[in-house]
Structure 1
């Protein structure tokens, strides 16, 4: 019998659909508000991966009609200088969203910078006020990657209510907020991490398995319940014998695709959704100003 192949959860296609919807929404709102939405991405230093991400975000902004107020600072920029820039952007009525591109050089305190951003302009959804709103199930800006995962599951009409969801990873960027969002959708949520005993047996219980640990192909077919939904948030760069690099996730895609019912690819799964939700948050913040 041929191996059963899971249905792909296509984040790239959904991200394009969301961008088209946002473009239409901006075209409706702009005549009423009198300006386009504005997003400021602040980048410090010369991390090549960060530079590529920022370029991607700026391209996506241009596609939907969001004005970019991005700033690129030299590595040695001081904490005080950056905090001053964030204060100015908080007051700037043309700017609806402010994002500090992580990671930052070691001499900077990223938490202090995040706390400086006004919660209503915190399009990354990482300010304690927005995380608090999530805990209380109140409206607010939601963290982009977790919100993108939920939106992707909704697009494919995957039932979360009453399901066993296992979140592997507990970072403030993905694991913790996504566990709360799954709980909000009435899933029964387990958070597993590097100190979890017998990780394989915990993961094998999952109807919905989300992994964000950043270790290449850790999750094999023997760890996945047949018919599970597998969402791979991990992005790991591996270099082959020929010296060429490629991106892989935390999941052994080919093996797991034979037992799962749905699976996200890497790349082309969760990554594009993160950018789409960043644009969504910017437009949400902009719509409130109208």
Structure 2
């Protein structure tokens, strides 16, 4: 079994980004900039944002974290985003999700300049991704695709099951796989007899937030399993949506949790920020 080590691969990508930043600073005389908006005091979100901030600093990317109380109005948040849209030093804007219930997430995401949408959530970028056109890709699926590329896992013609249909992972993941000429089945919480779908899959990608949902008897010998889920058990242990111990003797490739897909998300966010920095002239010309 080949362990798909996202921690090691993300470190490699961050070194690539650091070099790309140096080239942009040298050639274009600009420093790539990323703004992150954090609303409220959710501990998990705060930890994730801190990791993004550190990754930017290490790569030489200018980073600003704009913290706002959970009591802010939707209009106040939209005004802040508009200010960032008009700030030429900020190449990427990221709104940390989830947002408080009184704020409409779709309205907020649609207010971000598509050329600064480094999370790849704006309908403009989603539409271009589905159409297999150049766009900002959602960081987690983008990271999974980079893992496939790194390990030379051919997707063309493969039967792939995606478990989970979220806008953040499941849907964009399926689109990228379809663009890679795979045969894709998307399962969700209402899928009947999940095992009947996964048992014949060459590759299974799971992202639902249910500990150990995917077990060894649900996949065929030699399957590739990508576990996007991350769950904290009552004892504090972090585990995935797949039963790693049960699957490791059966799979050809398997991601661990933690240390698998998770680190790739931030690495690909940095990649998107570099892409946005290279589009700065195009934005300013509009």
1:138 matched residue in structure 2: 133
1:212 matched residue in structure 2: 207
| C-alpha distance in 1 between matches for 2:43 and 2:242 | 25
Structure 2 gap segments, 5+ residues each? 282-286
1:40 to 26, 29, 35: 35
| C-alpha distance in 2 between matches for 1:33 and 1:106 | 41
| C-alpha distance in 2 between matches for 1:71 and 1:204 | 46
TM-score by length of 2: 0.97
Cα deviation 1:199-228 (Å, max 9, x = unaligned): 011011110110001100011100011100
Shift of 1:33: 2.2
TM-score by length of 1: 0.95
1:259 to 216, 225, 250: 250
RMSD between superposed Cα atoms in Å: 0.8
2:237 to 243, 246, 255: 246
1:287 aligns with 2:278: yes
1:176 aligns with 2:167: no
| C-alpha distance in 2 between matches for 1:89 and 1:289 | 13
1:3 matched residue in structure 2: none
1:104 matched residue in structure 2: 99
**SS of the residue aligned with 1:69?**
strand
| C-alpha distance in 1 between matches for 2:189 and 2:7 | 30
2:180 to 176, 181, 185: 185
Shift of 1:78: 1.1
Aligned length: 281
Which stretches of structure 1, 4 residues or longer, exceed 3 Å deviation after superposition?
Answer: none
Shift of 1:128: 0.4
Shift of 1:195: 1.2
Which runs of structure 2 are paired with 1:27-176 in the superposition (5 Å)? 27-176=22-171
Shift of 1:197: 1.3
Cα deviation 1:102-139 (Å, max 9, x = unaligned): 11112111111100001110000010000000111100
CA contact (8 A) 2:73 2:103 kept: yes
**SS of the residue aligned with 2:76?**
helix
Which runs of structure 2 are paired with 1:267-282 in the superposition (5 Å)? 267-282=258-273
| C-alpha distance in 2 between matches for 1:140 and 1:274 | 17
Structure 1 gap segments, 5+ residues each? 1-5
CA contact (8 A) 2:115 2:279 kept: no
2:7 matched residue in structure 1: 12
Cα deviation 1:135-170 (Å, max 9, x = unaligned): 111001000000000001110001111110100010
| C-alpha distance in 1 between matches for 2:96 and 2:49 | 8
**SS of the residue aligned with 1:239?**
coil
